Amino acid sequence: MGRKHYRQEFKREGVQLVEVRDRYIPETGAHLGVGRATLNRWIKEFRNQNSLSGPHEDASKETARLRNENDLLRQERGLLKCTKLTNSPVNCLFGVMWQRSSPGKQ
């Protein structure tokens, strides 16, 4: 079986749960269905991109950081809406909206 590939939004959500929401890595990894090493690698990648760090002295960097944060918050809001509809955060993070068939249909 080959290596799994995750969308950037999924990775970003996982990193945000750890970095911004102060969740534990093992707990977050289990919730998302990924290993601790994978989640740690994503955190390092995003730290290198500097997209979740604190305020910067340079106004253009600060503006870009705030835009990234706004994007993350919009994604989180969308995830919450999707989770409420599907009762499954994993399906929403993968961008899959599963439709349940009615009991009499296969």
What confidence tens digit (pLDDT) does each residue in 60-84 have? 777 888 888 898 888 888 877 777 7
Helix 25-32 with 36-49: angle, nearest 10 deg: 110
Tell me 100's DSSP state. Answer: P
Q: Is the pLDDT of residue 100 over 80?
A: no
Alpha carbon 28 to its chain's center? 10
Task: Look up the pTM and report it.
Answer: 0.46
**Residues ≥6 apart with Cβ < 8 Å to 38:** 29
In angstroms, rounded to a whole number, what is the distance separating the alpha carbons of residues 81 and 62?
29
pLDDT for the residue 73 = 87
In angstroms, rounded to a whole number, what is the distance separating the alpha carbons of residues 6 and 21?
21
